[in-house]
Amino acid sequence: MIDHSPLPEKIWPGKLLLRTAGACDFDPERLLEVFGEQRQRFVTVLRGFAPDDWAAPTRCADWSAHDVVRHLCDCNALAASAGPDDHTLDLAAGFDPRTTPRGWLTASADEPPDATLTRFVATTEELLALLRTRLAQNRKFDIRLPYGPMDWTVLVLHGFWDSWLHERDVLLARGTGRPPTTTQYSSRPDTGCSSPPWRRRCSAIRCRRS
């Protein structure tokens, strides 16, 4: 595989450019730290939701706030189960970013919001613990993402970015204040991230924006 991306030292501070070879260009432990901070913040807001809040529309055209959180639960399960050479998100194996995530939601179609929130909290804690264990064990393997094989830490980076994006999808639609940017989750400029190039090419992988 030919890597045409610039070297990490050639990238301006505060800007992240993903490559299709190797792990993330910043400390994966720090990535998990800010991922956990983002999830804690979002859960704190969700704990105050009334039934109307869960049913409210979001910036995802066809999804309510409840649908978005159920989707994030699905993403937790996917990330936890993704092992070496996993093909769940491989276009060649049948993954379609426009329709596949909608199909995942059918399994929890009858789940009430309080059960979803409980599942979201539990699966987030389990996922972060698993990922920290992988780092401690210095695990190195590739997962097949929509645009080819990438180090498993790149999937984690996408998971954080996607979670932050969906937090905004829910909260901005409510008009209750603007969530922090990715850079604001970190005290270090190299930990913020802009929209990953392969993520943009994925046609907003999870849902359409209104």
pLDDT value of residue 148: 84
Q: Which CATH number fits domain 28-201: 1.20.120.450, 3.40.50.720, 3.30.300.340, 3.40.50.11540?
A: 1.20.120.450
pLDDT at residue 177 in the model: 61
What per-residue confidence (pLDDT) applies to 207? 36
Q: Which residues of the chain carry a pLDDT beneath 70?
A: 1-26, 177-210
**Confidence at residue 85, expressed as pLDDT on a 0 to 100 scale:** 80
User: In DSSP terms, which residues pair with 142 in a beta bridge?
Assistant: 151
For residue 127, give every residue at least 6 positions away whose Cβ sits within 8 Å of its Cβ, in sequence order, or none: 76, 79, 80
In this predicted structure, what is the pLDDT of residue 190? 37
